[in-house]
Chain A
Amino acid sequence: MARTPEGKRLTDAHKRAQIRLGALAAALTVENAKRLDVDDLDGTREAWLTTQAAIVEALRRRSEILAEDYLRAFWKAEGIKPSELAELDLKPAREVMAWVVPVIKTRKAKYAAGG
């Protein structure tokens, strides 16, 4: 993609930074799972989901900012006329993580039945 060594460096650095961010999201999700009490899923669901959604939304924003910074720096390094940055319309994090507790309940029933 890059014509210049600087463009290549920026692309590699951006890819690595994004992957590190993804790894951080996974690690924070595992950490946040401690809020979810398996003996009181209904009672702890809300606090868990609120924090989980905040983690994903905050890191999504960081991911977007990284991408925006990368694009601007890349265009400059490559001598390319900047394009307009796309506006994203992603599904709210709260909605995309909402399946977790129901799935735990389903699996709990399945495992308890010997499945």
Chain B
Amino acid sequence: MPRAVDRAKAATIGEAASQAQYEVLRAGREKVQQSAPRWRRVTDGNPCGFCAMVCSRGPAYRSADAAGQGRRYHAHCGCTVEPFFGDPSTWVPSPDEARFIEAYNASWKPGIDKWDLSDDIGAWLSDPANAVAQEAKASGLDLTGINAAKTTQEIGAELQKVIGTRGNVSGFDGAALDLERTRSAAEQTARMFDRYPEVNADVQVVKLGKPYAQAVGSRDGYDGSMGNLRLQISSAKLGKRSKVDEMFRHDAESGHFHAHGDTDPMSYIVSHEFGHLVDFAGRGQIAGTAPTPMALRVSAIKKQLLSDEGIVNINGREQFEWVKKNVSGYGQSNLDEQVAEAFADVIVNGDRAKPFSRLIHDEYVARLKERRG
């Protein structure tokens, strides 16, 4: 059992690290804030009607406080404020903001008060008829061979051609595999290889039992060589009788995954598992030791975002809820799953990915580039 003084030091240094982080960021933040004349509210991608209404006004606020800095207007509100420089009349709304303005214009009526108006804006935004379908970012990769393949064996052979010597493809020959589902998994796998050229891995369709798929890394760490990492996809989930679409839809609706009704399950699953592979690759030959430098950095980024929302206890219930909102339900499992979910979010949801996902993803990509030199 640790001594009282060791426990006291560990607990206090954790808080000191958070404060050091805050104090450092404060310098840059205040420099920007004190040099900016106008403010606007920016949403977390899933705003309530009120935040959407405030956001739709653009840089109309004279202070960060007036734009609602630090205030949460809805459950799990992750909306923030940003400074705006220059003439406010030159503000050009982003596609999301244009949608909030459209919602505002559709909902405003003479004499309506701001609370009824924000309710109506929220209703307009959540109406599927007004929803903007999110398309996964298209890759410039040539997938013609996989698209044209007429059997699962041909799909496997075409995938092998695309990834070349970066991994061995196997298991794409089961008679029970569903052709289109297998094609979808292969296409997304090819895109991931294209997107992360630092990662080499074998791709295997195998019997896995419960998981949709899994990533396997060597205990000795990643040395960049072929066969060191494996992406394994469940043959049962790719099967003709698989209920993967229904299962995935249920998981997406419940918030277990940060996906939408029209998200292709295999794209999300492969992206998630590839996130684990990038995680392995980013760690280098120190897998199995904890905490790794990357884990420390991810943890620190998370602490910073938590502290921005006033959450101090990074192991408390609030943190747990924060992960569900800012990552996904599955991300609540552990930090490794948060990283993998962040990858799936960025790849599948593109510009609509959550801020945490974007930061984690970019941090890993930077780390991979560093390793490549």
A residues whose Cβ falls under 8 Å from a Cβ of B: 1, 3, 11, 14, 16, 18-30, 33, 36, 38-39, 52, 55-56, 59-64, 66-68, 70-71, 74-75, 78-81, 83-86, 88, 90, 93, 96-97, 100, 103-108, 110-112
Residue in A26, A52, A59, A107 whose CB lies within 8 Å of B300: A26
- Check A18/B25 contact, CB under 8 A, given A88-B34, A104-B12: yes
On whether A84 and B35 interact (CB within 8 A), knowing A1-B84, A63-B27, the answer reads: yes
Task: Given contacts A80-B85, A111-B8, list 16 more A-B pairs with CB under 8 A.
Answer: A1-B40, A1-B85, A16-B359, A16-B362, A16-B363, A22-B21, A23-B297, A23-B300, A23-B301, A26-B296, A26-B303, A27-B300, A38-B3, A63-B27, A83-B85, A104-B5
Q: Are B19 and A96 in contact (CB under 8 A)?
A: yes
Chain B residues near A22 (CB, 8 Å)? 21-22, 24-25, 300-301, 304
Q: Which 3 A-B pairs have the closest CB atoms?
A: A86-B34, A23-B300, A107-B8
Q: Can you give 8 A-B contacts (C-beta < 8 A)?
A: A11-B82, A16-B363, A27-B17, A56-B20, A59-B24, A60-B23, A74-B85, A80-B86
Given A33-B16, A56-B20, residue A85 in contact with residue B85 (CB < 8 A): no
Bound state CA distance, A44 and B86, in angstroms? 50
Q: Given the known A-B contacts A18-B28, A67-B28, are A26 and B20 also in contact in the complex, defined by CB atoms under 8 Å?
A: yes
A10 to B59, CA, bound (A): 19
Judge whether A3 and B22 touch: CB under 8 Å.
no
| Residue pair B21, A25 in contact (C-beta under 8 Å) | yes
Given A20-B363, A36-B9, A39-B5, the answer on whether A86 and B20 have CB atoms closer than 8 Å is no
Indicate which residue in A56, A67, A78 contacts B31 across the interface (CB closer than 8 Å): A67
Closest to A78 in B: B86
- Chain A residues within an 8 Å CB radius of B28: 14, 18, 21, 63-64, 66-67
Q: Is B9 touching A1 in the complex (CB atoms < 8 A)?
A: no
Which A residues lie within 8 Å of B18 (CB)?
Answer: 26
Q: Nearest Cβ in chain B — how far from A105, in angstroms?
A: 8
Contacts of A112 in B (CB 8 A): 4-5
Out of A38, A62, A75, name the residue touching B9 (CB < 8 Å).
A38
Whether the pair B26, A30 counts as a contact (CB closer than 8 A) is no
Which of the residues B11, B15, B26, B85 comes within 8 Å of A78, measured between beta carbons?
A: B85
Bound form: Cα–Cα A97–B85 in Å: 34
Say what secondary structure dominates the interface of chain A.
helix
Closest residue of chain B to A55, judged by CB? B20
Q: Are A97 and B19 in contact (CB under 8 A)?
A: yes
Q: Is B167 an interface residue (CB 8 A)?
A: no
Binary interface profile of B, 281-314, with partner A (CB < 8 Å = 1, else 0)?
A: 0000000000001001100110110000000000
* Nearest A residue (CB) for B16: A100
Task: Tell me the smallest distance from the CB of B358 to a CB of chain A, in Å.
Answer: 8
Q: Are A100 and B12 also in contact (CB < 8 A) when A23-B21, A56-B23, A111-B7 are?
A: yes
Residue interface bits B203-214, CB-to-A below 8 A is 1, else 0 = 000000000000
Q: What residues on A are CB-neighbors of B9 within 8 Å? A: 33, 36, 38, 104
Q: Who on chain A is nearest to B33 by CB?
A: A86
Closest to A71 in B: B35
A33 vs B37: C-alpha distance when bound (angstroms) = 40
Q: How far is the CB of B235 from chain A (nearest CB, A)?
A: 39
Q: Is the CB of B132 closer than 8 A to any CB of chain A? A: no
Q: Which residues of B contact A55 (CB under 8 A)?
A: 20
B24 A85 Cβ-Cβ under 8 A: no
Shortest CB-to-CB span from B291 to chain A, Å, is 10
Residues of A within 8 A of B12 (CB): 100, 103-104, 107
- Say yes or no: B34 contacts A107, CB within 8 Å: no
Q: Contact: B85 with A88, CB < 8 Å?
A: no
A97 pairs with B21, CB closer than 8 A: no
Q: How far is the CA of A16 from the CA of B358 in the complex (A)?
A: 9
Minimum CB–CB distance for A67 against chain B, Å: 4
